[in-house]
Homo-oligomer: A and B are copies of this chain.
Amino acid sequence: FNKLPHYATHQLGVAGAVLDVNAGKVLVVQDQNKTTNVWKFPGGLSEPGEDIGNTAIREVFEETGIKAEFKSLLCIRQQHRHPGAFGKSDMYIICRLKPSSFNISFCQQECLRCEWMDLAELAKAKDTTPITANVARLLLYGYKEGFDKIDLTMREFPAIYTGLFYKLYHKELPEDYRNITDV
């Protein structure tokens, strides 16, 4: 048995789906310099040592000027032979964020357009990517029937050998399962 490869095989991209629950609107952008203009969630590559939620918050702010806080993790995509990843694989995560500011001031180098779009409109939009439309539907499901239906929430745990901590994301566990003694 070969324990190799012990090296990094994936780049990590993170996007933020910033949902204003009062208005039912979500923050979307169109990239500069693309042949087709499609709406998508702002996001970008994770920096070394950066937590998933912090990448989403940073990228959303850099692209749109909107401040937001981390709520949950919504989906994970794995793609091999990603064109921008130099033969490596790409892991891409979309987080649900809650806005704490609302006035858009978008980065003109990166974005062609940026707006708060009605969530139901994005869920059925044609000028978007398949993943964006799909996550918009997921968000709409959570918005209408409760975010517990779609959220992976975060818990922090001690790493057993190192004394470090790590973050674990999964479906919320009901209280009576969290502190099990006998079921």
The residue in chain B whose Cβ has the minimal distance to the Cβ of A84 is: B6
Contact of A76 among B11, B62, B73, B162 (CB under 8 A): B73
Q: Would A9 and B6 count as touching, CB distance under 8 A?
A: no
Which residue among A44, A164, A180 has the maximum number of chain B CB atoms within 10 Å of its CB? A180
Contact of A1 among B89, B109, B129 (CB under 8 A): B109
Residues of B within 8 A of A129 (CB): 160
Rounded to whole angstroms, the CA-CA distance of A73 and B147 in the bound complex is: 19
Map CB proximity to B onto A132-153 as digits: 1 under 8 Å, 0 otherwise.
0011011011001000011010
Minimum Cβ distance to chain B for residue A36 (Å): 8
A104 at the interface (CB under 8 A from B): no
Q: Would A171 and B150 count as touching, CB distance under 8 A?
A: yes
Q: B-contacting residues of A (Cβ < 8 Å)?
A: 1, 3, 5-12, 36, 38, 44-49, 51-52, 62, 73-81, 83-86, 88-89, 91, 93, 107, 109-110, 120, 123-124, 129-131, 134-135, 137-138, 140-141, 144, 149-150, 152, 155, 157-162, 164, 166-171, 173-174, 177-178, 180-183
A-B pairs with beta carbons under 8 Å apart, 29 shown = A1-B62, A3-B44, A5-B48, A6-B11, A7-B88, A8-B85, A10-B11, A10-B91, A12-B89, A75-B170, A76-B169, A76-B170, A77-B167, A77-B168, A78-B167, A78-B169, A79-B167, A80-B164, A83-B161, A83-B162, A120-B180, A123-B183, A129-B160, A134-B157, A135-B170, A137-B177, A137-B180, A152-B152, A171-B171
